[in-house]
Structures are given as structure tokens and as C-alpha cells.
Structure 1
Amino acid sequence: MKKRALQQVLLATLVGVALAEPSLSGQKMSAPIIDLGYARYQGVFDAHNNLTNFRGIRYAAAPTGKNRWRAPQAPPNTSGVQLANANPLMCLQAPTGAASTNPYSSIPHSAISQLKVQTRQTPGTGEDCLFLNVAFPGTKPPSEGLPTVVWIHGGGYISGSLGAFQLGDIVRESKQGVVVVAMQYRLGLFGFLSGNKVKENGDLNAGLLDQHFALRWVHEHISKFGGDPNKVTIWGGSAGAGSVLQHVIAEDGKTTPELFRAAITSSTFLPSQYKFNDPIPEAIYHKVVSQTICSKSSDTLACLRAVNVQVLEQANKNIGYASFFGTFSFGPVVDGTFIKQSATKALKQRKVNGQALLAVTNTNEGPVFVDQHAHANVTHFASQLFPNFGPRQEVAVTRQYNGLGSQLNQQNLVMGESIFVCPTYYLLNAFPDRSFKLITPRTTATSLLAVNQPLSTMLIS
């Protein structure tokens, strides 16, 4: 089958595209006003691509102050018409790990690496960042109810935004046949702070709950933009693909109502997923507390909610930078409520949401996350990548990868296969007879690089 034909088959299978006739792109039309009940937004018509964009729609209240580390709340009512013509502020960002060793390798421990990155608040970022973008073909919402693609950005759960994703590319590649949504969600310590204190007086996995809240927003409101809430496909790259995986296993596959029909993952990202109160998440929580004025507080979480955001952002950056090279300190945990068990167990039991899956991997997923100038052997590397490994696991890794090229090549393989490739197959096996697998021949990892490429490049290489 030719590539273009296969692409169309996959799109039709997973997204359910119903092709729409293109409108006259040269015709100047005023964009419609969409009433969401709590606010009214007016989009902007893009004549060149023959689509209407709504940028910066608020889908949840500001997650600040008392709302820090709590589930997202309904957005406030806003009077008048809001012009949705600009991307929102990005959520607060943190750097990738740069340390030569893992600061959490020996637990319990008396100190965590003090590597710090001194910086002012990153321009274009803010704590009030729960917004999404929507695009539909033509000058007014399609009347037939088009399939909807929802994009979740990647970035290791510590960086990224919806701004890099061009919604128009997907609308164009579908030949004006879909409505597209891209969302933002809390990142780093703002979105994924864990531990008993958060469990007791907050909500774990706040960043995942943001995404879930946005998917519920899509289910409720996308018909106003011409989308069909019963034909939703969620798609993400890297940590966005990892997020898709988390929604697939959310609530042990019993999410009601069904928020998506199909899922696409580009470079499925699944690092170690700890229970919320395991030693490493607890150590990270105490590290956050130690970098603020809250160490002596009787209620450290309440104290953190009152801390100046710039202090928290500095702690976010310090902890991220002090992580082992190419890894990320924050990410989804097993919280017992939304994520009831580890992803590997849930997928093995086929407790999944959704009806079909497309999984995409790159040829070499590992190198961009491995220090290409380091000289450690693969056994040491695996023990740093997985700090809970013991001698038995280290021997198994050495035996498995012995002879597969240089020590550096073995490290690249361990990183790529354990965190990207194997999770992809776990997902595929959880959807028997309902899944598709594609491999791209890229020599550099991360589907983040592929986001700016046409849809055909991401699905068919």
C-alpha cells in the first residue's frame, strides 16, 4: 500500500475523518463568537489556511494561592467578549537534569545534591496558565460535527507549552476534516508535587488532573466549535504521549463518560512511576520545603501555598537541574484514586480507556537523554537511571546489553528501550486487534522535534 493511502487509512481508523469541502480562503469573514456559558470568546479567521483559531481560552480557574496542588476548579464568569487572538503565558518551566549522578540513589539520605541554577522568572511564563487553543476549518463551526484531535504537549512534565504546536497543520493534513485542540497543564513541582502532605490536604497529579479537566471541557463544549464529542482522539509527544498513556489507564479504564475514542502516542514516555509516598517522592517534597521558608512550619503544605511564586520557581529549577542527566524529578505517581496502579500493571491487565491506539517510535529514542561525553559503564548508568535497582537488576542489565557496541551505545539503548520503546509495546498489547505501530527512521530522539513537521511525517515516514 502506498504511504499516502496508508496514512489516510490510519487517519480514518483512528480519528474517523469525514472530509469537508474547503471554503473560499480569499473571502474575508468575521470570526464567530462562541458562548461557553462562563465566558464568550471571539476567534480569528486565518484566510491563508482557511481556518478559524481561538487562542487562549481559559478552561479552569487560576491554580494559584489556595488552589495550588489542588484539582483544577471551574473558571470564573467573565462578562463581555474576549478576543481569543494570542497564545497564553506558558506554565512555569524547569530545566532537564544535568548531574552526573542521581541525587536519589541512596534513600534514606541526609542531603540531596545542591546543584543550583540561578535565574529570574522565565519570560512568557506564569502560574496562571490553564488555557487551551481550538481551531476549526472555515469561517464558522462545521455543522456536521467533525472528529476532534486533542494535543497534549511534551517536555518531561517540567517544560513545554501549546505554542509550539501548529493546529493549522493538522486541519490542513486532514483536508479540513477535523477540529483541533491543544492544552496547557501545570508542570514541575506546580503540577506533580507528591507525598503524604499533598495527599492529606491537596490533590496529587495536579498536572494530569488539569489535562483530564480539559478533556471534560472538550466533551462539554467542542460541539460549539463544530467538533463531535463522541469522536475524540487524544495525541501527545514524549511526556505528552506519556500523559496519553496515563489517561488510557486512568481510573483503571473506567472513566465515565468516555472522553476519547482513540489515542495516539509519539515516543511514549514512561520513566519510573512511584507510589505517591515512596521515599523518592517524599524526598523531593522535603527538598521543596527546604528551599523555602517552610522548614519549621507546622503545616508545610499550607506554608508552600503562601510562598511567593518566584521562590517556588527557583526551587523548581534547582531541583530539576540537580537531577541525573537527561531525567526529570517530577512526573505522574500512583495516587490510588485517578491513577490506581502502576501503568505496567494496568496495561498488562488491559484496564484501558479508548477503543483504538496508534503508537509511533523513533529509531533511536535514547541519545538525546544520555550524556554523550560520559565514560561510565552501562551497569553504573542503569543504577543511576533506576535508583531502586539492586545487584540482581544490575547484573541482568549487564548481561542483556553486553556486546551491543560501546558502553555509550549500551547506555543509549537502555535509556531508549526502557523508557520509550518498551512502554510502547505495553500499550500496543493492551489493545489487541485494535492497535497500530509505526517507526520513524529519525536518528535523534524525541517527537518534540517532529511536532513542527507535517502530520504525514509523524504518522508515515
Structure 2
Amino acid sequence: MKLTAVFLLVSATVTTLVSGLTSNTESDAPIVDLGYASYQGSFDASSNVTNFLGIRYAAAPLGDLRFRAPQPPANVPGVQQADTEPPECFQASSGLSPTNPFSNQTLAKRQLPHDQTEDCLFLNIAIPGSTIPTDELPVIVWIHGGGYLSGDASDFHGSALINAANGSVVVVSIQYRLGVFGFLAGEQVKENGALNAGLLDQHFALQWVNKHISKFGGLNSKVTIWGESAGAGSVLQQALYSEVVAQTNCTSSSDTLSCLRSVDANTLETINSDITLAGFFGLFTFVPVVDGEFITQRATEALKQGKVNGQALLAVTNTNEGVLFVNQTANQNTTFYAEQLFPKFGLEQAQETARHYAGLGSQLNQTNLIHGESIFICPTYYLLNAFSGRSFKGEFAVLPATHGMDIQFYFPTLRFPPSTFENADFQKAFSQSFLAFAISMDPNSKFDPTNITPQWNKYNTGNTEMVFNSTEDGSAADIHTISTNSGLLERCSFWESVGQLTGQ
């Protein structure tokens, strides 16, 4: 079954952003019958958008369904009011340790209270106007980031994208299991559960969109998947199952996975937080693994072979992707940092990493570049090459241009971190270029003649990138094209060559 017509990747924030949504429910708001349940939307007159909030797309992953692939939701009689944001999935944070604890498989214990829930497989839908569109519209599916450990659908309001696109799209925001609930690895899980359950949730939601989005006025043959970065791949997973079992006192059980399924969700969430916070600074512990079924090979290898699902790609990276994930107050050494970042590296690979980054500023700047390029930026070029002749590359460069700063220019209600550049021309050019791509697979197909973005050639035409920046004095937008730096491409070739050791 074909799930997507176009594919979009955007590098974005891992921080959980906070904002509210208010809606005015009207008795004549549209009702959609999904077969298993009917949902009535809520019209927001201030944005001229109808929201369907908290639609259940899969059964609650509780009890025996914990650590298993998502299942269809049960039938529910009557009409459900879709006017309340869904609960978040259990959250955790990135690592804070100055060294990688998985080098010797020891984990510090920390306690952090959380009030999220395990029953969180919901999605939100936003449609323009107060009635179901009669002309089927292109669909944008938003998959939040957060390193596979945090994030939710409710912070990202589809109304922002609908209004920026002049009411010409339908927007879907999905949630999926996170951390230990969505990405617990181990042979026991593989044999009697599902590795990458969180990714399977995403896939299940996309299948749901393919089946049901036409009932909301969306065109299921023209779906753009827009994803935030969700952290890097990891080579550390097979150490984690035993650690989770030990911390839940399931060690003595003859069936440790059944024991884990019976553990109270709040207890499991505490362990989730403990383990992730004990990880190496800036990294995310529970992430996807090659399971032999849903993920059959490393992403780098699949991209080399051109194994991609979609018709076109627009990829945007931020200039300083690595800064937020490197301890800026610690004394950094590039060789040591490379060994900690990638525990399968030997001294030879760590020293080679240091040679590639020698001369690129201070040791701190070099480690910032090592993290940002190896995990975020270089994989983007592998994607661009896999979509040869069908891809566009952008760079968000408004200082400090750190990971995630671009999101607030797509979703204006999200001003975290606070914006350093308020400019209407920039806002319009940046967001509308993406929306034009979502509508027509070409950012040059402008639906607003006041959009100042110049002609944007495909990436394979001279390694062309569109840079979205401000002038040095911050008084105006500076949007222009460049060719990708040759030194960066050489470093990306190095990272590609060691992909088996980095897990990418």
C-alpha cells in the first residue's frame, strides 16, 4: 500500500514546547464516522479552522499489548467530542553524564516525577473552515521529535500551517510511544513483542491516514510526511533490556517480558527517566534498532541503495546543529569525545575523527561540529543523494541557528527559544517554501507572489542549497543560494565510511 506521495525531512527541536489551544465547540461542527467510532470536531472562529483533537488511531497499548505492535482500536458507540487535547505519552530527557555509561554498562539512579500516560496513541487533525472541504486537499502529517524520548502532538497546531497555506492543506499531528515504552530492545522483545514499537505506531498512523483522511477532506495520494529530528541511531540497545529487567526486580522471573508487562506504568516510567538521564550528555538512550523486519538494514546502507519511499524530498538543517547536545562548559577533547559519542570506535577511528576536524576552531567548536555533522547534517546529504534529481536542500542560518530554532517559523505560536529575528518577509519566505513543496512538490510553485525566496534549484544542480538568514545587522532577510562546502562533504564521506561503527 502506498502511504506517501511526497516525503519531507526537517531538522528540528528535541525540547518539549508548551502552548495552549482554545476552541469554540458548535453544535453543528462536522461529525466524521470512522467505522469504529464517530468524532465531532470543534470549530475555532479565531483561526477559521476545525480541529479534531484526540482521535484514537490504535488500541491502548496496555497490559499484554505493552511492547507489542499497535492494534486496531475497539468500536465505540455514539459520537465522541474531539475538542480536548490528548494525553502525552510518557516522557524522558536526554543524557547528562560526562562519560558514556554504556561503555561499562553502569547506570546512575535518578528520580523524576512525570504525569503522562501509557495510553497515548492519538492524533489531531485540522481542516480549513467550519465544514469538511469538498475538494480533497494535500495532506501534511507532522511527526514530532524529541529523541524518541519526548514530544507530543498538542504543541503543534495545524491551524498555523493551514493559515500560512491560505487554507489549502489538511494537517495531521500524531503521537507514538516513547522511550522504554516504544523502543525497548532485546531478544525477548523480538521473540514475543515488537522491536521499534514506536516506529510501528507511526506506520500504523500513516496507514490510518491512508484509509481515513478523505473523510476529512484530505487527498490520500498526496501526503507529505514532515518529521522533526528524533535523535541519532544507537549501538547501545542490547545492553538496555537487562538493565530494565534489573531495575524492575524481574530478574528472577522465568518470563522477564511478561513480568515487565505487569509492572506498574509509573514504575516503568521512573526507570525510563533514570536510564535516559544517566546516558552520555546530549544523547538519547531508547532509539530504533535494526530488527530484521520493519528495519532490515542500517539507514546509511539503505540510502546508498536508493531504498526510499516517496516522490520528492525537501531537507532543511540548521547551521549549528550540535551545540545543544554538547556540554558547553566542559573542557573538550575531540579524540575522547568521539570515543564517548560512539562506543564502538577504537582509538584509530577516534584519532581519525580528530584529524578530520583539526583546524576548525577550538576543541569545543570541533566537538560541536562532530556531533552536529555526524548525527544531523551528514545523514541529510545521504538522503539528498538517495533522492537524486528529486530533492531540495535548505539551511536555517539565523543565529544562533541551533537545533530546533527553525520550528518557530513554521509554528508562530511556538516562541521557544525566544526568536532572535522578527521579520515578516523572512517568516513568509521560510514557511511558504515548505508549504509550496507540500502542495506541489516544488518550493518554486509559489501561491503568494510576495514570497521573496529566489529560484531554488534542485540539490543535484551544483550541490545547490538555499540559505535562510538575516543581514548582519538583523534589519532584513538575507535569502540566497550557495553550493555545499567541499570540506563538509569530505567529512560526511568519512562518517559514511564508519557507519557500521556509529550504528547509522
Evaluate the alpha carbon distance shift between residue 455 and residue 202 of structure 1 in structure 2; reply closer, same or farther with a 3 A threshold: farther
Match of 2:442 in 1: none
Measured in 1, the distance between the counterparts of 2:406 and 2:244 equals 31
Deviation at 1:361, TM superposition (A): 0.5
Higher mean C-alpha deviation, range 140-149 or range 447-456: 447-456
2:196 is aligned with what amino acid? N
1:400 aligns with one of 339, 350, 356 = 356
> Where does residue 500 of structure 2 map in the other structure?
none
Structure 2 residue 148 is matched with structure 1 residue 191: no
Mapping 1:284-299, distance limit 5 Å: 284-299=240-255
Corresponding residue to 1:132 among 123, 131, 142: 123
* Corresponding residue for residue 81 of structure 1: 79
Q: Structure 2 counterpart of 1:148, which letter?
A: V
Distance 1:313 1:36, change over 3 A: same
In the alignment, structure 1 residue 380 sits paired with structure 2 residue 353: no
Whole-angstrom CA distance in 2 between matches of 1:456 and 1:149: 18
Match of 2:67 in 1: 69
CA distance, structure 1, for counterparts of residue 225 and residue 73 of structure 2: 23
Structure 1 residues 392-425: Cα deviation after superposition (integer angstroms, max 9, x where no partner): 2112111101121111000000000000100100
TM-score by length of 1: 0.83
Aligned to 1:306: 262
Q: CA deviation at 1:212?
A: 0.3
How do 1:47-446 and structure 2 match up within 5 A? 47-105=45-103, 109=104, 111-114=105-108, 116-120=109-113, 122-123=114-115, 125-239=116-230, 269=231, 271-274=232-235, 280-442=236-398, 443-446=400-403
Deviation at 1:41, TM superposition (A): 0.3
State the secondary structure of the residue aligned to 1:126: coil
Q: How many Å separate the matches in 1 of 2:405 and 2:355?
A: 32
Measured after TM superposition, the shift of residue 100 of structure 1 is: 0.6
Note the alpha carbon deviations across 1:344-366, whole angstroms, 9 max, x for none.
Answer: 00000001100100000011101
Where does structure 1 differ by over 3 angstroms across 4 or more consecutive aligned residues?
12-15, 451-461
**1:457 lines up with 2:418 in the alignment:** no
Q: CA RMSD in A?
A: 1.8
Q: Displacement of 1:237 after TM fit?
A: 1.3
Change (3 A) 1:152 1:62: same
Give the direction of change, closer, same or farther, for the CA distance of 1:166–1:308 in structure 2 (3 Å limit).
same
The answer to whether 1:31 aligns with 2:29 is yes
Letter in 1 for 2:227: G
Q: Contact (CA 8 Å) 1:30, 1:45: kept in 2 or not?
A: no
2:96 aligned counterpart, secondary structure: coil
1:154–1:448 Cα contact (<8 Å) kept: no
CA–CA distance in 1 between the matches of 2:209 and 2:283? Answer: 32
Secondary structure of the residue aligned to 1:181 is strand
State the AA in 1 paired with 2:233. S
Partner letter of residue 416 of structure 1?
G
TM-score scaled by structure 2?
A: 0.76
1:200-219 superposed Cα distances (whole Å, 9 cap, x missing partner): 10011000000000000000
Partners of 2:428 and 2:340 lie apart in 1 by 36
Give the secondary-structure state (helix, strand or coil) at the position aligned to 2:394: strand
CA contact (8 A) 1:272 1:386 kept: no
Post-superposition CA distance 1:82-104 (Å, at most 9, x none): 10001111000012100010011
CA displacement, residues 110-131 of structure 1 (integer Å, 9 cap, x when unaligned): x5122x32123x23x1000000
What is the CA distance between 1:272 and its match in structure 2?
3.2
Amino acid in structure 2 at the alignment position of 1:113: L
The answer to whether the 8 Å contact 2:7/2:226 transfers is no
Note if contact 2:36-2:73 (Cα within 8 Å) is conserved in structure 1. Answer: yes
- CA shift for structure 1 position 13: 8.8
Aligned-partner Cα distance in 1 for 2:284–2:276: 6
The structural deviation recorded for 1:446 is 2.1
8 Å Cα contact 2:179-2:287 kept in structure 1 = yes
CA–CA distance in 1 between the matches of 2:161 and 2:394? 18
Q: Structure 1 residue 448: deviation in Å? A: 6.3
* Letter of the 2:96 counterpart: A
| SS of aligned partner of 1:287 | helix
Matched residue, 1:447? 404
Q: Aligned pair in 2 of structure 1 residues 378, 455: CA closer, same or farther (>3 Å)?
A: farther
Is the alpha carbon distance of 1:378 and 1:14 closer, same or farther for their aligned partners in structure 2, counting shifts above 3 Å?
A: closer
CA 1:317 to 1:448, structure 2 compared with 1: closer, same or farther past 3 Å?
farther
1:299 partner amino acid: D
Residue 444 (structure 1) shift: 4.0
Map Cα deviations across residues 183-212 of structure 1 (whole Å, 9 max, x no partner): 000000000001111101001100000000
Q: Distance in 2 between matches of 1:384 and 1:13?
A: 37
Structure 1 stretches lacking a partner, 5+ long: 1-11, 16-25, 240-268, 275-279
Does the 8 A contact of 1:273 with 1:334 survive in 2? Answer: no
Q: Alpha-carbon deviation of 1:273?
A: 4.2
Structure 2: how far apart are the matches of 1:455 and 1:74? 40
Q: Is the 8 A contact 1:29 1:45 kept in 2?
A: no
Name the aligned partner's letter for residue 167 of structure 1: G
Secondary structure of 1:164 counterpart? coil
The equivalent residue for 2:494 is none
Aligned equivalents of 2:356 and 2:49: distance in 1?
Answer: 51
Q: Which amino acid aligns with 1:202?
A: G
Deviation at 1:304, TM superposition (A): 0.1
Whole-angstrom CA distance in 2 between matches of 1:341 and 1:416: 23
1:382 is paired with a residue whose SS is helix
* Structure-1 separation of matches of 2:6 and 2:55: 30
Contact kept? 2:6, 2:311, Cα under 8 Å:
no
Q: Secondary structure at the match of 2:309?
A: coil
Q: Secondary structure at the match of 2:219?
A: strand
CA contact (8 A) 1:29 1:139 kept: no
